[in-house]
Amino acid sequence: MKIGFIGDIVGKPGRLMLKRHLKRLQQEHFIDFTIANYENASHGFGLTEKNCIELLGYGIDMMTGGNHSFDKKEILEIFDKYPLIRPINYPKDIPGEGLYRTTLLGHELAIINLMGHYTMPMVDNPFTMIVEEVKKLQAQNVKHIIIDIHAEASSEKNALRQMLKHEVSAILGTHTHVATDDLQVVDGCCYITDVGLTGCRDGVIGMDDVVPVKRFLTSLGGHYDVPDECKAIFQMVVFELDNEGRCVGAEKIKIHDDKPKIVTGAWID
């Protein structure tokens, strides 16, 4: 099976890049299932029901979240209506689930949304929790397991790779919006520290640069806005899993505005 994974979709520019490119890329790369991170999809903060329906209409099959999952309060009412999850290590009493399961090409596929600790909201220990969750899935003979690790610290993501590279199919980093050049297939596990944003590429992490620059110069904050017009980028990792849930190949796809795509293969260890 071939899986496409899109990192943080940031605002309208990110949504428009999916509209322009996703369905064509799904055909060109024979993608069977597409995952995307929604937490910045509605003007940079959270997800509205309107934008959820919009993104699913562009060809996304399910979506993961992060520390901005609950910024738009209407999401509390739509977790049960759409294929959405939020980080599994949020307190259990809040709405939503952190695990999504489906059947794809005769195999059960499990997608887990996990959030790191450094600079993030107070959540349960991601490392102890994920070990237990993976054990539960393995006990049920689930072999195709994908993790979206939504974390600030690259060390947390690298540690997760070392912990679980023999146990899961893929570990894909989100949250920083800055793509890393370390896509790899290590011991049958697809890994990248951060997929990078889909949205504006000429501001600061997908936002207009006025407030971030002012903050760095003066220490005074402000509301971050997504520009209405900007230079944009689409970024996606495509990886192939065999019948045992092991990754046998991966590539990174980038498109700048409407220019030809750039495809970079993973290194394989």
Where in the sequence numbering do the catalytic residues fall? 68
Query: Any alpha helices (H) in the chain, and if so which ranges?
Result: 11-28, 49-57, 126-139, 154-164, 210-218
Instruction: Return the closest-CA partner of residue 111 out of 219, 1, 17.
Output: 1
* Gyration radius of the chain over CA positions: 17
How far is 24 from 201, CA to CA, in rounded Å?
22
Beta strands in the chain (DSSP E): 2-8, 33-37, 62-64, 99-104, 107-115, 144-150, 170-174, 184-186, 189-192, 199-200, 232-241, 247-256, 262-265, 267-268
How far is 89 from 123, CA to CA, in rounded Å?
6
Q: Which long-range contacts (C-beta less than 8 Å, at least 24 apart) are formed by 16-22?
A: 16/232, 17/198, 17/199, 17/232, 17/233, 17/234, 17/255, 18/55, 18/58, 18/59, 18/60, 18/198, 18/234, 19/58, 20/234, 20/258, 21/234, 21/255, 21/261, 22/58, 22/59, 22/60, 22/234
